[in-house]
Amino acid sequence: QEDVLTYRQSLAIKVSGFDVPRPIRQFEDLGFDSVLMGAISKQGYEKPTPIQCQALPTALSGRDIIGIAKTGSGKTAAFVFPMIVHILDQEELDKGEGPIGVVCAPTRELAQQIYLETKKFAKPYGIRVSGVFGGMSKFEQFKELKAGCEVVIATPGRLIDMIKMKALKMCKTTYLVLDEADSMFDLGFEPQVRSIVGQIRPDRQTLLFSATMKKKVEKLAREILSDPVRITVGEVG
Ligand code: ADP
Ligand code: MG
């Protein structure tokens, strides 16, 4: 235990919550299959970043997470790898019923980056990823969603449009990520974010990431996360 505390200190991470899993030291500690390990090394990721060391085992254990870490700390992989494992763990992958994993990000640029990163790791498994943000016509987007996918990477506004158009159902969604929650709120997307969360089954796993923790985000976290593990990296917050 002493050991774990010293190790967390060396990573400059702080945690709170009940029964927080121990942080990993290397990707090999996670029991990933050779497909994912291959994709990770193909990306040139040699060792996990501090947020990944703590968030990966925590998310893989099925826990909700509040992750507070600044830009560039490797948050995307911290939620993408567990999302892939979560999807592979689902028994029936029958098509056309809607995504299992949904990621919301504040802007088209950020959503696009997450989309590209996710595809690198999902593609080797045949997991279909749809990007639901501006840049594609709503009609094209509608058709793509109708064809089916396991993961949606979305901006809140466009996702709501697609739900209204009945392009997708959220009944199978059990893994929800709110990325850059503070920016989503700063841009005025709180109503959209709340509406999306309200349409996803309560027995989901939820991960909320933010560079800062303001009152409004803290309040949302209290309302939508269950028994979360809070992970703070460095001096942000
Ligand atoms: P954040 O979301 O925290 O801003 P990103 O997930 O976008 O950070 O990652 C920032 C950069 O670091 C990206 O270029 C990503 O590919 C790279 N990266 C992520 N994890 C690792 C790792 N374990 N080793 C090396 N590079 C990594
Ligand atoms: Mg990010």
Q: What is the largest CA-CA distance in the chain?
A: 56
Q: What is the pLDDT of residues 26-62, one digit of tens each?
A: 999 999 999 999 999 999 999 999 999 999 999 999 9
CA distances from 36 to 10, 16, 105, 110 (A): 27, 29, 24, 23
- pTM (predicted TM-score): 0.96
Distance 49 CA to ligand 1 centre (A): 8
Ligand 1, atom nearest to 73 Cα? 3
Q: Which domain holds residue 209?
A: 2-233
Q: How far is CA 61 from the centre of its chain?
A: 14
| DSSP-based three-state secondary structure for 170 | coil
Q: Considering every ligand atom shown, identify the ligand nearest to the alpha carbon of residue 71 and give its number.
A: 1
Q: How far is CA 201 from the centre of its chain?
A: 16
Residue 237: the pLDDT is: 43
Q: What is the pLDDT of residues 113-126, one digit of tens each?
A: 999 999 999 999 99
User: Ligand 1: which of 45, 109, 179 to mutate, judged by most atoms within 8 Å of the beta carbon?
Assistant: 45
Report the chain's C-alpha Rg in angstroms: 17
The total domain count for the chain is: 1
Complex ipTM above 0.95? yes
CATH value at residue 187 = 3.40.50.300
User: Ligand 1: which of 76, 109, 110, 178 to mutate, judged by most atoms within 8 Å of the beta carbon?
Assistant: 76
